[in-house]
Structure 1
Amino acid sequence: MEALKTLHKRLSPEQLFMVSVIVVNGGNYLYNLLLGRILGPEAFAEAALLITLLLVLSFIGMTFQLTAAKFAVEFTGEKWHAFKNRTLFLTLVFGAVVGLLLILFSASLKSLFHTESAWMFIIFAIGIPVYFFMSLNRGIYQGKQEYASLSTTYQTEMWSRLLLTIALLFILPLPTGIVVAIGILISFFFGLFPSKIKSLRINKSLVLEPVARKHVIRFMWLTAGYELTQIIINNSDILLVKHFFEAKPAGLYASLALIGRVVYFAAWMFVMLLLPTVVKNRKEGKPTAPVLIKYVTYIGGLAILIVGVCFLIPETVVNLMFGKAYIEVAHMLWKYALATSLFALSNIFAYYFLSLDHYVPVILSGILGMSQIILILFFHDSLNTVILMQIIAMAILLVVQLMYFLNKEIFNSQINIDNP
């Protein structure tokens, strides 16, 4: 205990948050690994579907979170309170609508993805409004750079989901999907601790001025559009594989995807730090490019390390994480890790531009990224082909992002020379 207190004092809030994110990612990994080992490939495919559905829907949650994070830096006083008022209302409305739609189409989802029960989708849907509010709460902490509270919300959600789901699998005699859905639902409520709920009120007298409201709406639409395309890009392969392939290969692919996404999960930690820092630097007239370069360097180095390990000892990695039942897909592990690494790097560029209100590269990211889905729809004769299509799409996306960044930097440098 004393060692933890000493560590807390020595680390900056940003470093403490990074450590927390590593722990959360590790816990989420353990959650998936335990499900994979306990359930086996066929049953794990159903559990992975529900987890993937959560990631797909998170584009709305992340829109609220990133919007709150950005304008927590830009707005102050009455403008900030009016913004919170408006965003809380939108959060509740979207949560109710999305939850209701999931309940109404639960039977169709059961048929589409060949699940054992439709109740897993209904239980999951009940928690959507709570999930969106939790995202708004986190955005406020992120923008205010209150990283201790932000870290706690992620910790409470992760640990409750991990411990409760594994326990319920052995206690409740219910289908796997329903048990996983119950664990996810309960974890959303734990994720509300701590929260800014006392500072959030729906007050009709608090209204954003037209210019500010237009700025917020434009940012939200662009962020929602990008988050949607990003989530689809990052999870469409699992959904498409679940649709085109039998249960066993779909479960094997889900395990492969989980291992290969280490880089992406790690990159998200830097995205959380990048956005408020870039917005703050721009507001104070400081250069923003060094922030991007620093985080790209971190992620690039991590990507090289992970892809290298997956190439050199793939069977060892798969065996340690999931067991011998999944070993037949080990030879494809480094390829999937490469595709994810390319996506993670391009993602950093996109969020950097988004935080600076440069929307062209964000739109290009969505357009080019969606090409991955089109490629998989036409070329899916094997799991290896599915992965190759992702590598092609993500490589093109990263090159476009890099070219745009270099063009902007050269253009800005020329302006500084012409106007010393």
Structure 2
Amino acid sequence: MQLLATLKTRKITPEQLFMLSVLIVNGGNYLYNLILGRILGPAQFADAAVLITFLLVLSFAAMTFQLVTAKFSVLFENDTFNSFISKIYKNALLVGVVLGLLIVLFANQLQVVFNTSSASMFMVFGFGVPLYFIMSVNRGVYQGKKAFKSLSITYQGEMLSRLVITLGLIYMLNLQSSIVIAIGILVSFMFGLVPFKMPKIVSVKHLSLSQTNTKAIRSFFVITAFYELTQIIINNSDILLVKHYFESYDAGLYASLALIGRIVYFIAWMFVMLLLPTVIQLKKEGKETAPVLFKYVAYIAGIAILITLVCALFPKTAITLLFGKSYLAMAPLLWKYALATSMFAISNIFAYYYLSLDKYLPVIISGVFGVLQMGLVVFFHDSLSQVVHMQIIAMLLLLIIQMAFFKLNHKK
């Protein structure tokens, strides 16, 4: 009774609510992937994995706009804020339209490169790209203003609609098609726009952004775009390269391995979402920021160790429960992939921390090792085991260098 009374009197903070929401969203996205893996089987799941990977690539690209919006939503106020938001929406829409058109126009070439059964799935996906960029700017406003309730709703709406619509179409129409999956993704972008904060449109003549502010926005945008590109390379190049170099069956097996092993990264992502506005606000107030970094690194390291141990001790159980016996061939590699992802997740916290402080060398370091990882896989891919080992080498070196940079920088 005493415990219940204590829980009732304690209020859940917006940050805690958002963290709970992110856990639910990640759980829902995992459920979506797991169900598709079981329904489709390894060979057909390889096509679905390409679309899911494209979705992740899109999310990283659009994250540039979200992080820029979040940062300057903290720093700007009144007319300067309105001018900034108006401009960022226009640029996001332009980039989204261009990328979407490129995907639609080169759909046939994408089918050949990634050995998929259909080009139409890329066309459907391309039509949704502009919506995703608009959605990301909308989320950036909520993130910067710490409106975590509204931010949670946008993520929940996107996840739930994609899960329900995709599985509903598969079961009602009895279609196990990559086009159905693409339609589900497209419609989920529409739901992800809710609640949408309509920006105050400011004409070019009335923009009140100073040259200094414009330069600061441009600099942060460029370096953030560069860092998100490294995220795309590190997080997704392995799946796309495996799909290119290996048969569909092996690629489907590897996709299941990647989805399980990346649990650590997706949990780390929610801490990044909280880290960025907190560090920027502390810096703005002239307060110490390192304790926040230590706290989040400790959280991620603890979670990473736990998940890697579970993958090492119970690999067959984990794969059987999540994907089924068809994917058991990947059991010996599960803990190794989880280890590589864990090291990347911890390195990522350091990079985003310094990105928040306008220190960009760790971002460049991540870019170098992202290219290194991709290069290692390109040259060493005799087996799926070798692909995983190349990632462990690259991520171990990245983590060591990021930690060394922090130690040297903190001493100064």
Partner Cα distance (1:130, 1:200) in 2: 18
Query: Match of 1:302, as an amino acid?
Result: I
Q: Which residue of 2 aligns with 1:214?
A: 215
* Offset of residue 9 of structure 1: 7.0
Q: Which residue of 2 aligns with 1:403?
A: 404
Q: Calculate the TM-score normalised by the size of structure 2.
A: 0.96
Q: Which residue of 2 aligns with 1:298?
A: 299
Q: Which residue of 1 aligns with 2:14?
A: 13
Tell whether the 8 Å contact from 2:268 to 2:300 is kept in structure 1 after alignment. yes
Q: Which residue of 1 aligns with 2:148?
A: 147
Q: Which residue of 2 aligns with 1:416?
A: none
Q: Which residue of 2 aligns with 1:166?
A: 167
Q: Deviations over 1:297-316 (max 9, x none)?
A: 00000000000000001000
* Offset of residue 171 of structure 1: 2.7
Distance 1:8 1:398, change over 3 A: farther
Tell whether the 8 Å contact from 1:152 to 1:194 is kept in structure 2 after alignment. yes
Q: Which residue of 2 aligns with 1:45?
A: 46
The alignment partner of 1:201 has SS state of: coil
Partner Cα distance (1:172, 1:399) in 2: 51
Q: Which residue of 2 aligns with 1:417?
A: none
Tell whether the 8 Å contact from 1:134 to 1:188 is kept in structure 2 after alignment. yes
Partner Cα distance (1:405, 1:187) in 2: 39
Distance 1:118 1:9, change over 3 A: farther
Q: Deviations over 1:157-195 (max 9, x none)?
A: 000000110111123365621000000000000001111
The alignment partner of 1:114 has SS state of: coil
Query: Match of 1:332, as an amino acid?
Result: L
Tell whether the 8 Å contact from 1:89 to 1:202 is kept in structure 2 after alignment. no
Q: Deviations over 1:125-154 (max 9, x none)?
A: 101010000000000000000000000000
- 1:273-284 correspondence runs (5 A): 273-284=274-285
Q: Deviations over 1:7-61 (max 9, x none)?
A: 7972100000000000000000000000000110011110010010111122321
Q: Which residue of 2 aligns with 1:266?
A: 267
Q: Which residue of 2 aligns with 1:224?
A: 225
- 1:282-361 correspondence runs (5 A): 282-361=283-362
Q: Deviations over 1:208-265 (max 9, x none)?
A: 1111001001100100011011111101000000000001110000000000000000
Query: Match of 2:167, as an amino acid?
Result: I
Does residue 364 (structure 1) correspond to residue 373 (structure 2)? The answer is no
Partner Cα distance (1:307, 1:235) in 2: 20
Tell whether the 8 Å contact from 2:226 to 2:367 is kept in structure 1 after alignment. yes
The alignment partner of 2:140 has SS state of: helix
Q: Which residue of 2 aligns with 1:99?
A: 100
Query: Match of 2:313, as an amino acid?
Result: L
Q: Which residue of 2 aligns with 1:418?
A: none
Distance 1:62 1:395, change over 3 A: same
Partner Cα distance (2:28, 2:58) in 1: 21
Tell whether the 8 Å contact from 2:40 to 2:176 is kept in structure 1 after alignment. no
Question: Which stretch of structure 1 is more off in the superposition, 6-15 or 199-208?
Answer: 6-15
Tell whether the 8 Å contact from 2:104 to 2:122 is kept in structure 1 after alignment. yes
Query: Match of 1:189, as an amino acid?
Result: M
- 1:360-399 correspondence runs (5 A): 360-399=361-400
Query: Match of 1:320, as an amino acid?
Result: L
Q: Which residue of 2 aligns with 1:193?
A: 194
RMSD: 1.4
Partner Cα distance (2:245, 2:315) in 1: 25
* Offset of residue 401 of structure 1: 0.7
Tell whether the 8 Å contact from 1:110 to 1:117 is kept in structure 2 after alignment. yes
Query: Match of 2:83, as an amino acid?
Result: A
Query: Match of 1:92, as an amino acid?
Result: L
- 1:66-85 correspondence runs (5 A): 66-85=67-86
Q: Which residue of 2 aligns with 1:115?
A: 116
Q: Calculate the TM-score normalised by the size of structure 1.
A: 0.95
The alignment partner of 2:358 has SS state of: coil
Tell whether the 8 Å contact from 2:83 to 2:202 is kept in structure 1 after alignment. no
Aligned residues: 406
Report the identity percentage.
Answer: 59
Moved over 4 A (4+): 6-9
Tell whether the 8 Å contact from 1:88 to 1:201 is kept in structure 2 after alignment. no
* Offset of residue 117 of structure 1: 1.4
Distance 1:175 1:309, change over 3 A: closer
* Offset of residue 368 of structure 1: 1.8
Tell whether the 8 Å contact from 2:161 to 2:188 is kept in structure 1 after alignment. yes
Query: Match of 1:384, as an amino acid?
Result: S
Tell whether the 8 Å contact from 1:332 to 1:384 is kept in structure 2 after alignment. yes
Q: Which runs of 5+ in 1 are unaligned?
A: 412-420
Partner Cα distance (1:9, 1:151) in 2: 21
